[in-house]
Amino acid sequence: MSWLLEPFQYAFMINGLIAATLVSLTCAAIGVFVVLRRMAFIGDALAHTILPGLVVAYLNQWNLFAGAIIAGIATALGIGWLSRRQEVREDTAIGILFTGMFALGILLISAARSFRDFTHILFGNLLGVTVNDLILIGTITATVLSAIALFYKELELTSFDPTHAQIIGLNPDIVRYGLLILLALTVVTSIQAVGVVLTSALLITPAATAALLTQRLRRMIVIATFIALASSLLGLYASYYFGVSSGASIVLTNTACFGAAWIAQNIKRTRL
């Protein structure tokens, strides 16, 4: 049994574990709504558009989280604003902003003449999480989870039937913007864990796996968080014992869970 505890004699592993736990909790819970509302593309886009915010903050030695949050929220509002009259379709608006902002980030990095400094932004750095990072991640986790609990019925209704929401005076756009802001906050924390490139995996994969396993929304959220937590733990062990990237191991464990659920689902269906 000692191999189970061995990794956690190091402080950086404990910090990494706490961060991974918090990040997977938030990502999985909000990810269920992202999947049900077919917003997978937005999740990925938000993760990428945060890059210039991070770079600007880094170069000026400002708080990285602040830079990322500002860039994320600006993008969330920008997408809504660009596509508000449907002259530009929403997926087109996302595509334009997403690539534009990411390119801006790369441009700023290349101007700083140092790609190496930014690899942890692109691929995450779970084992470099500091106590201050943990406090921020914890605050964001608490904010996002309590917002989901508090506005659960509105999130559910506007995901399922925005028309009825509008009829009863609940503006679906307000809920949407709120969700986008929560999503921007979530993405900022998960960049620390798995980086810009893999963040959408934490949002989408556990939720999609849960959607294969249950037809009930609450249960879907519980299963998604459980899968995400288990994958984070397994991924961390894999990274410790095989010396591979922690972010990539966590994402691949999630992908394996999805694959297993998908195969199980198909076997069940062919038997019926």
84 binds other proteins (CB under 8 A): no
Tell which one of 161, 173, 263, 264 touches other proteins (CB under 8 A).
161
159 binds other proteins (CB under 8 A): yes
160 binds other proteins (CB under 8 A): yes
170 binds other proteins (CB under 8 A): yes
CB of 95 to other proteins, least distance (A): 19
Torsion (CA) 10, 15, 18, 21 in degrees, nearest 10: -90
Give dist(CA 29, CA 63) in Å, integer: 26
9 binds other proteins (CB under 8 A): no
* Contacting range for other proteins; rule: CB under 8 A; set: 23-31, 69-77, 168-176, 251-259: 168-176
36 vs 104 by CB, closer to other proteins: 36
Give dist(CA 249, CA 89) in Å, integer: 36
Q: What x-and-dash track marks residues 214-243 binding other proteins by CB under 8 A?
A: xxxx--x-----------------------
143 vs 214 by CB, closer to other proteins: 214
154 binds other proteins (CB under 8 A): yes
Give dist(CA 65, CA 62) in Å, integer: 9
Token pair belonging to 12: 């950086």
Give dist(CA 16, CA 246) in Å, integer: 9
131-150: contacts with other proteins (CB under 8 A): 150
Spell out the residues 6+ positions from residue 171 whose beta carbon is closer than 8 angstroms to its own: 165
Token pair belonging to 221: 């959220």
Angle of the 40-59 helix axis to the 11-36 helix axis, nearest 10 = 140
Number of residues that bind other proteins (CB under 8 A): 25
CA-based end-to-end distance of the chain: 41
User: What one-letter code names the amino acid at 55?
Assistant: V
Question: Distance between alpha carbon 210 and the CA centroid of its chain, in Å?
Answer: 16
269 binds other proteins (CB under 8 A): no
268 binds other proteins (CB under 8 A): no
5 binds other proteins (CB under 8 A): no
CB 145 within 8 A of CB 25: yes
Closest CA to 202 of 214, 193, 213: 193
165 vs 196 by CB, closer to other proteins: 165
Tell which one of 7, 14, 18, 36 touches other proteins (CB under 8 A).
36
123 vs 151 by CB, closer to other proteins: 151
Tell which one of 163, 242, 269, 270 touches other proteins (CB under 8 A).
163
Token pair belonging to 151: 């506005």
Question: Distance between alpha carbon 241 and the CA centroid of its chain, in Å?
Answer: 26
Give dist(CA 109, CA 128) in Å, integer: 21
Tell which one of 1, 11, 131, 167 touches other proteins (CB under 8 A).
167
Where does this chain bind other proteins (CB under 8 A)? 36, 86, 150-151, 153-154, 156-157, 159-161, 163-164, 166-171, 211, 214-217, 220
